Amino acid sequence: MSSKPHSHAQWSSRLAFTLAAVGSSVGLGNIWKFPYMTGESGGGAFVLVYLICILLIGLPILMSEWLLGRLGQKNPISTMSHISARLKRSPAWVLIGVAGVLGAYLILSFYSVIGGWALAFIADAASGSFETLTSDTAGSLFGGLLGDPTTLLAWHSAFMLMVILVVAGGVAGGLERAAKILMPLLAVMLIVLVGYAATTDGFADAAAWLLTPDFSKLDKDGVLAAMGHAFFTLSLGMGIMMAYGSYLSDDVNIGRTALVVVVLDTVIALLAGLAIFPVVFSNGLDAAAGPGLIFQTLPLAFGRMPGGEVFGVVFFVLLVFAAWTSGISLLEPIVEWLEEKTPMSRVGSAWVAGIATWLLGIATILSFNLWSDVAPLGMFAKFEGMTIFDLLDYATSKLMLPLTGLATIVFVGWFMGRDEVRSQLNMSDSAFSLWSFVARYIAPIGVVVVFASSL
């Protein structure tokens, strides 16, 4: 007598589900974005706030998205309308799904450009150009790339094409199998890099800088950045995890699986930090260099370590792979939505969504060269000097994702029946009480307070 529409297939196993979730969450956010934001925000205090946000805000929202998805059994927009109708709640909750699709579009537009940078660096690593780098010329390869819109466009196109082809072909299964090998390899490569970093004389200072919070270095915007990044890195607030949850079978324990994903995601980010900052410190580079940080630092490290040419190629290949699995998860919700709302086929939808995203990506490319002085919202003091790329990043990580995430957890915490949530989470009494408390009070209040203080 189950009224739950089983509209699609389910994950073959808990492992397959976990892999797909890890594939979406581990990506450029961990290896590219986390280090450069930490560098811009002064180190340890940022890391600590980020970790707190992951645990008290990210983890409960991840669980909420999965349980909604498993209940709704559809794409995020239909899931929200289905559940809110059944519970006689306002149809406005559908906006959670709509905001998600828009957020995914905006993020993928710049994500693909950065994925293109990683592709370009595979070629650089293979050509041996890392070996001649010195502290003074560390940024030269990256600087040259940024100043060349045509080359950037070529790599952005290549990355976008990789994403479109997989989504159009619906062959993500093969990728999932590859993820089983490649994700652990990425962790191994990061450990190799940390091993190299440990031999440099900046290691102790860098580790202390990363792990000892100095709150005088963190301003309110840094706190908002840390919270926003918790959403970004876990792929939250976009309906992506909700869509994944719709494939989740009833016997999977949501809490335990969420913990696995969160821990893996966090460990990868911290390893990236530990690999990069010692090289920054021991070469007198600028920790606050911004989005180019890893592309200025890692080539120097690979250029100096024994076997660096091979390691460099392997590393950037793995980075591209991690970015690819995340990029696929970003295109997927847009394609699903187009497929449902228009007469287009899956293949047609994938191409239309992909080309639209690719077009917007051009604005990000130009933000780093020809349009680097263009600040569309420069008339507001808060957005002074921010390029289109900066604005896209701000609008998504600092506004849309936290707001959508907030709406999600408020819905689960306050608008759904306790018993229904409880039966989905399948926890002991005390664990559920704790979860409820965090989901109803700590997480929403946390998001609101961080928002209010930074506005």
Cβ nearer to ligand PHE, comparing 34 with 311: 34
What are the C-alpha distances in Å from 144 to residues 55, 132, 159, 431? Answer: 39, 15, 19, 53
Based on CB atoms, which residue is closest to ligand PHE, 107 or 224?
107
228: DSSP letter: H
Residues contacting 382, CB < 8 A, separation 6+: none
Using only C-alpha atoms, the chain has a radius of gyration, in whole angstroms, of: 21
Shortest spacing between CB 261 and ligand PHE, in angstroms: 10
CB atoms within 10 A of CB 215: 14
Is residue 172 classed exposed, middle or buried when 0-12, 13-18 and 19+ CB atoms within 10 A define those classes?
A: middle
Nearer to ligand PHE, 93 or 105 (CB): 105
Q: Does 397 bind ligand PHE (CB under 6 A)?
A: no
- In contact, 20 and 196? CB cutoff 8 Å: no
Closest approach of ligand PHE to the CB of residue 34, in Å: 8
Task: Name the residue nearer to ligand PHE (CB basis): 326 or 367.
Answer: 326
Rounded CA separation 404/83 (Å): 16
- For the bound state, the minimum distance from the C-beta of residue 27 to ligand PHE, rounded and expressed in Å, comes to 3
Residue of 446, 373, 374, 378 lying closest to 406 (CA atoms): 446
Q: 283 or 326: whose CB is closer to ligand PHE?
A: 326
* Closest distance of CB 57 from ligand PHE, Å: 15
- Using the rule CB under 6 A, which residue among 41, 329, 364, 436 binds ligand PHE? 329
Read off the amino acid at residue 141.
Answer: L
Query: Could you tell me which stretch among 71-79, 220-228, 325-333, 422-430 binds ligand PHE (CB under 6 A)?
Result: 325-333
Q: Does 64 bind ligand PHE (CB under 6 A)?
A: no
Residue 28 or 119 having the CB closest to ligand PHE: 28
Nearest to ligand PHE of 196, 358 (CB atom):
358
Cα distances from 226 to residues 21, 246, 397, in angstroms, run 21, 29, 10
Query: What x-and-dash track marks residues 73-112 binding ligand PHE by CB under 6 A?
Result: ----------------------------------x-----
> In the range 25-54, which residues lie near ligand PHE by CB under 6 A?
25, 27-30
Number of residues that bind ligand PHE (CB under 6 A): 15
Identify which range of 252-260, 322-330, 334-342, 359-367 contacts ligand PHE by CB under 6 A: 322-330
- Encode 89-124: b = buried (16+ Cβ within 10 Å), e = exposed: eeeebbebbebbbbbbbbbbbbbbbbbbbbbbbbeb
Site for ligand PHE in 223-252 (CB under 6 A): 232-233, 235, 238, 240
Nearer to ligand PHE, 30 or 364 (CB): 30
The closest residue (CB) to ligand PHE is 29
CA dist., res. 101 & res. 396, Å (int): 11
Element (H, E) at 262: helix 254-282
CB of 329 to ligand PHE, least distance (A): 5
Q: Structure tokens of 382?
A: 């808060």
How does DSSP assign 265-285, residue by residue?
HHHHHHHHHHHHHHHHHHTT-
Of 44-52, 143-151, 326-334, 354-362, the segment contacting ligand PHE by CB under 6 A is 326-334
385 by Cβ neighbours in 10 Å (0-12 / 13-18 / 19+) ranks as: exposed
Q: Which residues bind ligand PHE (CB under 6 A)?
A: 24-25, 27-30, 107, 232-233, 235, 238, 240, 326, 329-330
